[in-house]
Amino acid sequence: MSLLKHLSCHLIFTLPVFIGAESANEYYLTRWARCMYSSPDLSDMVYIDNFYFNKYLYTQFNSTLGRFVGFSEYGMKNAEFWNNSTFLQHERANVDIWRFNIRTKESAVRVKAVKPKVILSLVNQAGGRHPSMLMCSAYEFYPQHIKVSWLRDGKLMTSEVTATMEMADGDWYYQIHSELEYTPKSGEKISCMVEHASSTQPMIYDWDPSIPESEKNKIAIGASGLVLGIIIAAAGLVYYKKKLAGRILVPN
């Protein structure tokens, strides 16, 4: 399983159509280009260039199609015009340009990538018919793009995943939390799979349904105290019996 990587080409332009108009009546044209790929050799890279009018997509160039397509009456006319102009050749050339940029930028990002710290925890204890809730939390990773998945006996799970939340820490690092409704079954193995630029292979963490380490420590401390108490009580009892026996043997 490979992580779908996403490089925002950051070709973003926002242009007010009517300069000087009231803010509520202003109109904006926005252009946003991005690249997506999953194979190491970028053979499946897709370059998409979107054109928006007031947040509505009206024309798009998709390198898979190799041409512009429209999503409105004006967008289709616009796409037809651009498909018969030098702009189409320019966009097709951008595919190779961004493929070169990705190879350059990805190596720089991978060097600075920080591997996430992953913790698996049980949020709600099972009770009656209600399932437990497992949470897979990844902390302090960089860059932001990450994929968290759940596996049951090595197979991808989708229906039981209830929520995935990604947040910025405010210090250039990120965290993400994925929740899974979990009904314990004998013999099955539940795993959290994390895919990130800091690792060339998916990182898989298996859920251990046994007692958590903190609970084991508490039990060990309690057991040690109990054993120590029994030893002290036994020693006191032996001492008391010996003392009592000594008193009986002493003549009046």
pLDDT tens figures, 232-252 = 776 666 666 666 666 554 454
Residue 197 and residue 134 share a domain: yes
Residue 39 and residue 102 share a domain: yes
Mean pLDDT of all residues in 187-200: 88
Mean pLDDT of all residues in 71-75: 93
Q: Is residue 155 part of a domain?
A: yes
Q: What are the CA-CA distances from residue 137 to residues 51, 103, 115, 122, 142 (Å)?
A: 36, 30, 13, 11, 14
d(CA 201, CA 191): 15
Q: Is residue 211 part of a domain?
A: no
For residue 70, what are the domain limits? 5-112
Residue 130 and residue 78 share a domain: no
Mean pLDDT of all residues in 123-149: 78
Q: Is residue 239 part of a domain?
A: no
Q: Is residue 248 part of a domain?
A: no
Residue 125 and residue 102 share a domain: no
Neighbours of 131 (CB within 10 A): 15
Q: Is residue 178 part of a domain?
A: yes
Total domains in the chain come to 2
**pLDDT at site 188:** 86
Q: Is residue 225 part of a domain?
A: no
Which one of 84, 112, 140 terminates a domain? 112
Mean pLDDT of all residues in 143-158: 88
What is the percentage of the chain residues whose pLDDT exceeds 90?
A: 28
